[in-house]
Structure 1
């Protein structure tokens, strides 16, 4: 189930000539099979853009992304969708307001022509800790945490190897955040997923990630193991400042 990822010299430039703006200068990192890798940094540092490149939601980048040794550009769309799925930040915006949970979960199965649909749908909803009775509910009948569980179930239903998590808990209450993170942790242990998680919260990194990259203005300043957080073992000035501010904040709460 686990798969490796290599991001090689991924770069995006908007515009051309003297007005061209490099959003991502060059981003390179690798993730081992079954690893949870974090991307952290301030808003606008390019974290979510990297996920959009890996998933091909944006395709105007240069460089290469290899998943299990294969370039994402060489993967047919159907295969790419079976290999990687994304969970978005906003559980309100990522679900269709007029579609029941059953319809949301059934749609990928129809597109990918998979059988045993009812069985798969029931397994997906119970795997994320929701009762089967929720299948007939609509998004407005669910809490934020329940919606995000449905979004995770939708991502899981195609049995991908790689999950891209774009701030999956930042729109949720603190108590619900912990539930969702524990759910993601459990699923990774059970299924051996590889995760790339974008977050601005180093407490989330400390809870979830094996290693993390600190981004600043579209570039990776440093890649660190999770163990570097408590004693702030970063060497790059910005990474030290970011971790220091987080530790100070945690210490004051």
Structure 2
């Protein structure tokens, strides 16, 4: 089942009193079912914080976050974990160095009391392009791209509808990045996932996303279709500068 995601007046403040810092003043956007929606902007603009709020890894935000019209705050933990999963930026840090791939994939199955563990693990490894023999490998025995495939498999093992992708290729070699992006695109086509993807790279947006929001200092300057990138059709000055810089860079590489 594909899902929609809506944030309404999402805001979050870190700290208290005169030192309090409001990092997301007022964020609102709607992601359609089955859409890949990008969040782009400079470091510190609040992109990853939005994902942490949606996933409830950070829970002291204000406003509303709705998945298929239901508040994430009203979703029991088990239901929320079965509905959405997150793929983190660093495959070297997101996998426990002393846990085998089998342990990484079997733990959520055990927690959620699902059956047919071996069959599910073999299938999800196949889905991400890894052989079943990798179940007994440890992270140090895998390349960066293979680790990120395992991280994606871990996100898929509970069969969620929504994947939150926090710069899933930025820690990888350039030669591996395209493989992971193509994998994510194929999985979305096959399973109908809804994606929210944080990235610095507008080339990634152009390859993956249907629409994207440009963020600056915690606020959305504007939401644009992917087709706005080649002609730099943004209206807001910062959005135009960001797209223009990306186009200039791409023209010189």
Alignment TM class, shorter chain as reference: over 0.9
- 2:214 corresponds to 1:222: no
SS in 1 for 2:200: coil
**1:46 counterpart residue number:** 46
3-state SS of 1:66 partner: strand
Alignment of 1:115-154 (within 5 A): 115-154=115-154
What residue number does 1:63 align with?
63
Give 1:232 deviation, angstroms: 0.2
- The Cα offsets for residues 78-125 of structure 1, whole Å up to 9 and x where unpaired, read as 100000000000000000101110110000000100001110000011
Q: Deviation of residue 17 (structure 1)?
A: 2.8
Secondary structure of residue in 1 paired with 2:23: strand
* 1:140-219 correspondence runs (5 A): 140-219=140-219
Secondary structure of 2:241 counterpart: helix
Query: What TM-score comes out, normalization by structure 2 length?
Result: 0.99
With the length of structure 1 as denominator, give the TM-score of the two structures: 0.99
Please give the alpha-carbon distance, in whole angstroms, between the structure 2 residues aligned to 1:239 and 1:137: 44
Runs of 4+ in 1 over 2 A off after TM superposition: 15-19
CA RMSD of aligned residues (A): 0.5
> Paired residue for 1:36?
36
**Cα distance between partner residues in 1 of 2:130 and 2:198:** 25
Unaligned runs of 5+ in 2: none
Q: After superposition, give the CA deviation of every residue in 1:153-196 in whole Å (9 maximum; x if it has no partner).
A: 00000000000000000000111000000000000000000000
